[in-house]
Structure 1
């Protein structure tokens, strides 16, 4: 008498099921064992990418890398959205009247500190033209500018106001990066808005204001590298805007006619403006001058 088909298949089916379970468990164990190695591999790649950005304000060490990764958790998510201009801000308008739109797409920007431009970089002749134009601003005494090592970067050369009236790192106006031709600078919010909306730059990821001013000013901007002579001239206009904002002086490379503008010193801050000021609310301003209030807003 023939045995039922089901009774013949049962032992084979049980063996297959057991084998399948064993293979599944083995695969899961291998995956769990491999995950730490894969995570370490990704971490190594990310650390190498951090070091490849070159020297900057943060040491290229594991500790510096850890600091940047922690700061990235609270960094700006949309660096192409201009910061609003508070109603108590004085002056409400900036230095720049208009800017033409930048031709082409925005370049790829990576990093926080250092922050670098990965493509559409300046050629060596263009960068030399830019750095020469920046240095020329320091040759005219009335511009009240000097060239020193960047307070932010600790490596590249920067322009500094001799008598700054807007608080930045040591009175730094701007600095350029030899590796790509891009610049960092502090601008009036209205000028920063014009720069961002016309595609010439973006906000620094840490430029959020408040307690994060210990890293960079709220008005800290990255300006994209000029690609040709015409763009060098335009970028230099933005540099002059930064000099005006930090020093209160209208600078000029050709004439050297620096004009001191008391744009902040003589403006009274009323009670309503003080109530809107981050620094005044915490009794940090200790002054009725708008330049101090702006420094903490």
Structure 2
């Protein structure tokens, strides 16, 4: 047997072994992300690999603001830059932060801040099982004006302290530029809207009390975008946003149906949990 024939034979023998080894390791990496919106099964893994073909190639690139959006400006007027490098983020569904996670105390502080928003009746917010994750709790608007899954504003990940939420495109731009998060891999609009909104982002886990305050400001921006409520104002001034145009306006019947079929049928799982 000549050298060429030997090389071909070795390739035919080794290629399946290498391929199976890669798939095995990649599958276990998928499982290591923990529970999320995709079943931790071989079928779920195959689904994610197919979706990876249409993912955003640059999750740090801001999305444009459609000219029909009202208002054109977002909620966040300014935001200090996040110190240090960006953490390592992996996965699609679930998508998780793998480094610089919140400590238990910091995560509890974040959850306490979220619950203060929910416990104020004037904010018209609820705690429900996340429509997107289905394994953690999130903040929902009882009167959403922007289309998300059942009026979901955001949800927290007990395993790392990061969050997913939907924001005005102008606020997404600030988050990206200041290093506080990145766009979800499927947040590209069009056909992918069946999975997540185009304005869906991952906000990095806070690392201390000061960063909890900054993340709460970002959550306030998400509440404002989804519900039109400014949680930092009082009385009639809370309802500072009541005009959207285009297909971003939420149908109340649609939101109720989504809550009934996707969220309301499940028991609420608390935002607190083992880290």
Do both proteins adopt the same fold according to a TM-score greater than 0.5, normalized to the shorter chain?
yes
Taking the aligned partners of 2:196 and 2:205, their CA distance within structure 1 comes to: 20
**What is the alpha-carbon distance in structure 1 between the residues aligned to residue 237 and residue 217 of structure 2?**
14
Say whether 1:99 aligns with 2:79. Answer: yes
Q: Distance in 2 between matches of 1:148 and 1:127?
A: 18
**Post-superposition offset of 1:227:** 0.5
Q: What are the equivalent positions in structure 2 for 1:64-79 lying under 5 Å apart?
A: 64-79=44-59
Residue 53 (1) aligns with residue 11 (2): no
Query: 1:204-243, aligned counterparts within 5 Å?
Result: 204-243=184-223
CA distance in 2, matches of 1:292, 1:130: 28
Structure 1 residue 26: Cα displacement: 3.1
CA separation in 2, counterparts of 1:72 and 1:208? Answer: 12
Output aligned runs, 1:100-139, within 5 Å: 100-139=80-119
Q: Root-mean-square deviation (CA), in Å?
A: 2.0
Deviation of 1:38 (Å)? 1.0
Instruction: Report what 2:65 is aligned to.
Output: 85
**Aligned equivalent of 1:261:** 240
Unaligned ranges ≥5, structure 2? 252-275
Q: Who wins on radius of gyration, i.e. which is larger?
A: 1
| SS of corresponding position for 1:133 | helix
Q: Contact (CA 8 Å) 1:252, 1:258: kept in 2 or not?
A: no
Hey, what does 2:255 align to over in structure 1? Answer: none
Choose from 249, 252, 257 the match for 1:291.
249
Structure 1: stretches of 5+ with no match in the other structure: 1-20, 270-276, 278-284
Q: Counterparts of 1:37 and 1:54 in 2: how far apart (Å)?
A: 27
How far apart, in 2, do the equivalents of 1:148 and 1:237 lie? 21
| CA deviation map 1:145-164 (0-9, x unaligned) | 01111110001110000100
1:110 is paired with a residue whose SS is strand
Aligned residues: 251
In the alignment, is the contact (CA less than 8 A) between 2:144 and 2:250 conserved in 1?
Answer: no
Shift of 1:24: 4.7
Q: 1:186 and 1:64 mapped to 2: Cα distance?
A: 24
4+ long deviations beyond 4 Å: 255-258
Q: CA shift at 1:257, angstroms?
A: 8.3
For residue 115 of structure 2, give the secondary structure of its aligned residue in structure 1: helix
1:231-289 Cα distance to aligned partner (Å, 9 max, x none): 00000000010000000011149x79871134316xxx6xxxxxxx6xxxxxxx5xxxx
Relative contact order, CA 8 A, sep 6+: which one is greater? Answer: 2
TM-score by length of 1: 0.80
Aligned twin of 1:29: 9
Distance apart, 1:27 and its partner CA: 4.1
